[in-house]
Structure 1
Amino acid sequence: MARARILNSKLNPSPFLHLISLTPFSSTKKTQKFKKLLLPSTSLSLIVISLLAFFAFSVILLLSTTINIPQTSNLCSVCSPVTPLSSSSASSRVLLASLFSDNSDGTKKPNLSVSEMVPLPAHGIMANLSVEENQFWKQPDNEGYKPCLDFGLGYRRESPGIVTEKRRFLLVVASGGLNQQKNQIVDAVVIARILKAALVVPILKVNFIWGDESEFSDIFDVEHFKMTLQADVRIVTTLPFRHLVSRQSVETQIPFDVSPLWIHTRFSKQINEEGILVLKGLDSKLSKNLPSDLQKLRCKVAFHGLRFAGPIRELGNRLARRMWIEGPYIAIHLRLEKDVWVRTGCQTGLGAHYDADISKERSSKPEYLTGRLNMTYPQRRLAGLCPLNAFEVARLLKGLGAPRDARVYVAGGKPYGGSEALKPLVQEFPNMVTKEILAREGELLPFANRSSALAAIDYIVSLSSDVFLPSHGGNMGRTMQGHRAYSGHRKYIKPNKRMMLPFFDTDEPMSEAEFGAIIRKLHEKSQGQPESRTGKRDRDVIAYPVPECMCKRNSASS
């Protein structure tokens, strides 16, 4: 059935199908005519028929050894959906991947070539723009890196026992915002693999800031999650009844930077004896420096397994197309929410009244303040620990060469200060929109008071932008950095706050041209070029997928 569906498509025919058409089984009439013309004697006929049969057998053997590829083997050839399928070789690769996407029992195998959330194509360079403007829209060179999840032989040998596990279960409670929860879910899969345990679909803790009560299935496609990872770990929707009625201890005391050995030593006995392990407070606790196969698993979960639920994907893609159809656009993750100013210990730039309100709330909730408590606000700002406000983002974009008429999509929660907070950006870039402006009447209504779903919509629209810029570090920025690299090295601008902010504050007279030249120079190496984790300890593979999850392959092997 899979073969029939593919042959009815408009893809160019595979060379393997062409070989099949040359076998004696392809046309009975042609074979009979061939024998009448060229085989006058019975003995000669038998010899030639034997040769033809041998040839057919050889072709079938060649096919079976060539395209019977294990799901966890070389995925480079089926993991680059960004490149248009214009050539016959590309069409053949997709055809072969699709032909073998079904199990014999009728269940679906994960097809990584189509499971990734792929952005809309980047726009080309436009005419009538200045050199600086053209440079701003220019996409970085991917240097030949493509997604490549080559799991090792040892990993694949262990998989059959792990994916059939029915005695040990891991349950993880993920907290925080959407991208923080995504990171914990990624690590939950890895920990389940380390412990050789079945993973229960994670529980999303109610966010105390936004009050979002969404469950996993409200945000992510559960069946896709299970199917994509079925060769790596067993995932179940609910616990067996015997565990539902048993008393469960919850582990919350997990130190930072724990290794697979630590996980195995600390929890193996408990999960073997009790049959279940419940983990909370997992955020960023698992080491960023894991063995290669576990790093690949992280990428597989983040970029393939965690696909958003259907209604979110549908609206997100609809809004992305509305932005994309009118030409290239910039997406900015603007961190101007009230809790961000409280947690970072920074000032809003909106005036004394707003800053006094933030200071009062911070004093009443000192536990919210994160990192370097002994630093003053000016010290924090110059150290790059504060979010850029709308005025600073506007100056940065202008300095980088963004045209005034550029279309700007602003992702993020409701800014503290409302429209007043966005005014400096709108003044410099009047074609600025948010999801609330872009959506039509009633489209966002199903997601009211669901911050994670709204963040997921922002994520989809941002992924398809030609240029992405975060105003502050954080989980969204890091995940978007890696995902844009994984999906074809879409331009990602990482603000160099430490180096550029002194030029924002200088009292020395400086022309816009001089300021722009300085800003472009400071950011020439931080605009989406492939950057490796090699030699950079503690870099997150989700933000830096080279080299574990991306590799260089020549055309012959890819």
Structure 2
Amino acid sequence: MPEASAAALPLLPSSQAGSPATYAPRGRRRRRGWRRPRGLLAWGALVAFFFVMNWWMFSRLQDPAARPHFRLRRHPPRAPAAANASSLSTLEEVGGAGKGKRPHQVMLTRLLALAAHALAEAETRPEPKDLWKEPINATMWLPCSDKRTWEASEGTNGYIMISANGGINQQRVAICNAVTISRLLNATLVIPKFLYSNVWLDKSQFGDIYQEDYFINYLKSDIRIVKELPVELQSLDLEAIGSLRLRCRCNFHALRFVHKIQQTGALLVERLHGHRPHPSPLEDNLLGHFTRKSVLKGYKNDPTKYLAVHLRFEIDMVAYSLCYFGGGKDEEEELEIYRQIHFPALTELRKTTKLPSAASLRSEGKCPLAPEEAVLMLAAIGFKRNTNVYIAGAEIYGGRHRMAAISRLYPALVSKETLLSPAELEPFRNFSSQLAALDFIACAAADAFAMTDPGSQFSSLVQGYRMYYGGGDLPTVRPNKRRLASILLKNATMEWNEFESRVRKLIQQTKQVHERPVARSIFRHPRCLDCMCRTEN
């Protein structure tokens, strides 16, 4: 406020200060001198009052004591972050990361206050009609990759062994590619091995996540699969030895989670959805026979809708992006240490190559959306304050401090850690891929799914699964990050109605139904004649 008052003081050029035209008797000058500060003080007080009231309204709307608990929560919620530890950071700080550039004059704090006010007013208004629906022509595409027209492969041309790296999403894609290559080469596929990653820290193998026998039997008419090499070949020093329809069958039909993942996934879905007497085809595929009976004895509640959100804001994503998120010197040092350990090639590249600044990366939409940016998007497209929201993903960088904004605007916020008891989670602890499988189930089965990073492998697989099995009833919110960044960064005086309109238009354009674009991933875009069947409505 002192800066605002100072900026409002009119400065007269020195040439005018002593000019005859501005001269007045001493008494008159004194009276005018008193009037001017009084007017300025009144104006400054009015501006201060506006900001204080705006802050007060925001804090009252977000009062943790007034929050209704999500009725499906079985365990006490984590204590909310202190008010002075709020994550309402400003893009002004973020934009200032680029040396020599003026900071962007867009404050997330202001937009978040406007969002809170809008959500409070929206309680009595109906939701947008298409909020929980895909476009009408999405129903023209039906899953049919379970049908096959080709001859069986005998697998007589040797064996194919693969070692899949990365998390569950990269592993899943690698498996489907290996199945296709095995058929092309008429070779026998050995159940893939998963490499241990110093990022994921998960020792899970194929049989810990997927049903091996189901996988082998489902694809036996396509390729020959064995669990391990024949005994006579196992002693070989392997280190010294130097199709589109089929990928769909593998990804959407052959890969089924093991029973312990299906059973716990069914717990999540029922606690989120409530009891549904007629499970969807997607739930049948994800949960097997666990979806055909109530897995919670005596646990009855009415069906309800929920939104699943994948916040791709873990430390590895934040560090690799080279973006800045307002954490100052501590953030920069912490992320640089992480890069040196986990991304040494990137560290070396920065020494020899001039890379884009953090500010330019943000303006190009190449930075992951922070939770406070994601919540603005959700509020703008029409999700009400009482919407049940499931948060997927690993530990968010910045923890509860970074999650403060989204938990205040959407208090009915849950995750697998709050919906499942410690005993139910215990079999999956220290197995990040198995925990990711639970998130995959909860996100795929959600009434609406929102991603914050369209390039995420996890979000891509969930989106494809929902397209394949959704029948037009499982919409996905997929932002164009570059255009969203331009909306957030362009105008500090944008009113909420304009922000809301521009964001809704952006999201609406990404929800249009198209056949799979050329050379795009079949796992993300299954709507093509090699994977799905098209009907004319």
Which TM bucket (shorter chain)? 0.5 to 0.7
How does 1:93-492 map onto structure 2 within 5 Å?
A: 130-141=125-136, 142-149=138-145, 156-157=150-151, 159=152, 162=153, 164-166=154-156, 168-249=158-239, 294-325=243-274, 327-363=304-340, 365-368=343-346, 374-472=355-453, 473-488=455-470, 489=472, 490-492=474-476
C-alpha spacing 1:373/1:147, structure 2 compared with 1 (3 Å): farther
Q: Quick one: distance in 2 between partners of 1:351 and 1:332?
A: 27
Code of the residue aligned with 2:177 in structure 1: it is D
Change (3 A) 1:368 1:474: farther
* Alignment equivalent of 2:515, drawn from 532, 537, 553: 532
Shift of 1:382: 2.2
More off after superposition, 354-363 vs 236-245:
354-363
Partners of 2:503 and 2:306 lie apart in 1 by 20
How far residue 132 of structure 1 moved from its aligned partner, in angstroms, is 4.3
Q: Distance in 2 between matches of 1:149 and 1:175?
A: 26
Compare 398-407 and 344-353 and name the one that shifted more: 344-353
SS in 2 for 1:524: helix
CA displacement at 1:481 relative to structure 2: 1.4
Q: Give the superposition deviation at 1:243.
A: 1.0
Contact kept in structure 1, 2:194 and 2:204, CA below 8 Å: yes
Query: Does structure 2 conserve the Cα–Cα contact (< 8 Å) formed by 1:175 and 1:204?
Result: yes
One-letter amino acid of the structure 1 residue matched with residue 234 of structure 2? L
Displacement of 1:128 after TM fit? 8.0
**Contiguous gaps of at least 5 residues in structure 2:** 1-121, 275-302
CA displacement 1:504-548 (0-9 Å, x = unmatched): 123441221221011001111213x43212xx3320011111212
**In structure 2, what is the equivalent of residue 47 of structure 1?**
none
DSSP 3-state at the match of 1:135 = coil
C-alpha distance in 1 between matches for 2:148 and 2:175: 23
Q: Give the structure, 1 or 2, with the largest relative contact order (CA under 8 Å, sep 6 or more).
A: 2
Deviation at 1:362, TM superposition (A): 2.5
Pick aligned residue for 2:494 from 510, 520, 524: 510
User: What is the DSSP-based 3-state SS (H/G/I as helix, E as strand, rest coil) of the residue aligned with 1:537?
Assistant: coil
What is the deviation of 1:234?
A: 0.5
Quickly say closer, same or farther: Cα 1:471–1:195, change in 2 above 3 A.
same
**SS class of match (1:296):** helix
Task: Say if 1:133 and 1:403, in contact at 8 Å, map to a contact too.
Answer: no
C-alpha distance in structure 1 between counterparts of 2:435 and 2:148, whole Å: 38
1:349–1:462: structure 2 CA closer, same or farther, 3 Å change rule? Answer: farther
Q: Work out the CA distance in 1 between the residues paired with 2:129 and 2:327.
A: 33
After superposition, what is the alpha-carbon deviation per residue over 1:462-491, rounded to whole angstroms, capped at 9, x for unaligned?
Answer: 111111111112211111111110012310
Q: Which amino acid letter does the alignment assign opposite residue 421 of structure 1? A: R
Question: Helix, strand or coil for the counterpart of 2:268?
Answer: helix
Separation of aligned partners in 2, 1:250 and 1:522: 53
- How far apart, CA to CA, are the structure 2 residues paired with 1:351 and 1:220? 43
Stretches of structure 1 that go unaligned for 5 or more consecutive residues are: 1-126, 252-276, 278-293
Q: Is the 8 A contact 1:350 1:417 kept in 2?
A: no
Q: Secondary structure at the match of 2:238?
A: coil
Do the aligned partners of residues 212 and 468 (structure 1) sit closer, same or farther apart at CA in structure 2, a change above 3 Å counting? same
Report Cα offsets for 1:40-91 as digits up to 9, x if no partner.
Answer: xxxxxxxxxxxxxxxxxxxxxxxxxxxxxxxxxxxxxxxxxxxxxxxxxxxx
1:336-355 Cα shifts (integer Å, max 9, x gaps): 21111122212244454223
- Give the secondary-structure state (helix, strand or coil) at the position aligned to 1:405: coil
Relative distance call for 1:136 and 1:340 in structure 2 (3 A) is: same
The 8 Å contact of residues 485 and 530 in structure 1, kept in 2 or not, is answered as no
Aligned twin of 1:495? 479
Q: 1:316 and 1:517 mapped to 2: Cα distance?
A: 36
| Whole-angstrom distance in 1 between the partners of 2:326 and 2:515 | 36
Contact kept, 8 Å, 2:123 with 2:384, in 1: the verdict is: no
Question: Do the aligned residues in 2 keep the contact of 1:349 with 1:389 (CA within 8 Å)?
Answer: no
**Relative to structure 1, is the Cα distance of residues 349 and 486 closer, same or farther in structure 2, using a 3 angstrom cutoff?**
farther
Answer whether contact 2:310 2:451 (CA < 8 A) is retained. yes
Give distance in 2, aligned partners of 1:342 and 1:132: 37
Over 6 Å off, 4+ runs: 369-373
Report if aligned partners of 1:382, 1:497 keep a CA contact under 8 Å in 2: no
**Within 1, Cα distance between the matches of 2:183 and 2:423?**
42
Cα displacement (A) at 1:227: 1.3
- Show the counterpart of 2:5: none
State the alpha-carbon separation in 1 of the partners of residues 311 and 327 from structure 2.
15
Question: Judging changes above 3 Å, is the alpha-carbon distance between structure 1 residues 349 and 226 closer, same or farther for their aligned structure 2 residues?
Answer: farther
User: 1:332, 1:470 within 8 Å by CA — same for their partners in 2?
Assistant: yes
1:549 is the counterpart of 2:527: no
Give the drift of 1:209. Answer: 0.8
The SS at the match of 2:131 is helix
More displaced, 349-358 or 188-197?
349-358
Letter in 2 for 1:146: L
TM (normalized to structure 2)? Answer: 0.67
CA–CA separation in structure 2 for the residues paired with 1:499 and 1:506: 10
Normalising to structure 1: TM-score of the pair? Answer: 0.64
Contact 1:151–1:296, Cα closer than 8 Å, also in 2: no
Q: Secondary structure at the match of 1:513?
A: helix
Would you say the 8 A contact 1:181–1:204 is kept in 2?
A: yes
> 1:449 is matched by which residue type in structure 2?
N
Pick closer, same or farther for the CA change 1:250–1:460 going to 2, 3 Å. Answer: farther
Letter in 2 for 1:190: T
Q: Which amino acid aligns with 2:462?
A: M
Percent of aligned pairs sharing the same letter: 32
Paired with 1:350 and 1:431, the residues of 2 have a C-alpha distance of 27
- Retained in 1: the 8 A contact 2:269–2:442? yes
CA-atom RMSD, angstroms?
A: 2.4
Equivalent position amino acid for 2:249 in 1: K
**Using the alignment, how far apart are the partners of 1:151 and 1:186 within structure 2?**
17
Provide the C-alpha distance between the structure 2 equivalents of 1:430 and 1:352, rounded to a whole number of angstroms.
31
Matched residues in 1 for 2:377 and 2:233: separation? 55
Is residue 342–residue 368 contact of structure 1 (8 Å, CA) maintained in 2?
Answer: no
Counterparts of 2:466 and 2:231, CA distance in 1 = 42
Contact 2:155/2:183 (<8 A) preserved: no
Flag the 1:358–1:466 CA change in 2: closer, same or farther, 3 A: same
